[in-house]
Amino acid sequence: MSNGTKPSEEQLKYASVLQIVSLSGLGILILGFLVYVFGLLPNIVPVNKIPEYWGLRVHEFVEHTGMPTGWKWVPLLGHGDMVSFLGIVLLAAATVVCMFAVLPTFLKKKDTAYVVIVLIQIIVLALAASGMIAGGH
């Protein structure tokens, strides 16, 4: 790869961090799921009961099962269904981790436009993740 075609420093950094976080997320997703379906930990909603409720809309599902929403799953991490949730959350968090990783490079290069873009992106993702922005019922 010549110098002209070599990806930028921030692009390579983004790629490295993304690889680590996404692979970890996928690994934990699969492991957590096995813990969940094999009943290695107690579940909040028994796994055999889920098919009775998955035809309902999500707000009805939550009402009937008492499944935690937002970040209320964190204190319940000793349960199999919450462990299986951990991998999903890690995958959803991968992008914001990468954004934090490339921000110093843009700052070092005094690339103001991209510093602003990355900062706004972090705020948008943080708001979405916080649960402060939520639709539905």
Please report how close the Cβ of residue 100 comes to another protein at its closest, in angstroms: 14
Interaction residues for another protein, span 46-85 (CB under 8 A): 47-48, 50-52, 54-59, 61-62, 67-71, 81, 84-85
Where is 22: in which H helix or E strand? helix 9-37
Q: Which is nearer to another protein, 75 or 134 (CB)?
A: 134
How many residues comprise the chain? 137
Residue 2 binds to another protein (criterion: CB under 8 A) = yes
Q: How far is the CB of 41 from another protein (least distance, A)?
A: 13
29 CB-contact burial (10 Å; exposed 0-12 / middle 13-18 / buried 19+): middle
Write down the least CB distance from residue 107 to another protein, Å. 15
- The site string for another protein over 13-52 (x = CB under 8 A, - otherwise) reads -xxx-xx--x--xx--xx-xx--xx---------xx-xxx
Specify the residue, 2 or 78, whose C-beta has the smaller distance to another protein. Answer: 2
Give the list of residues 6+ apart from residue 88 with CB closer than 8 angstroms, or none. Answer: 29
Alpha-carbon span 87 to 81, nearest angstrom: 11
For residue 112, state whether it binds another protein (rule: CB under 8 A). Answer: no
Residue 125 found at the interface with another protein (CB under 8 A)? yes
What's at 45, amino acid-wise? V
* CA distances, 48 to each of 11, 34, 36, 90, 103 (Å): 45, 14, 11, 25, 45
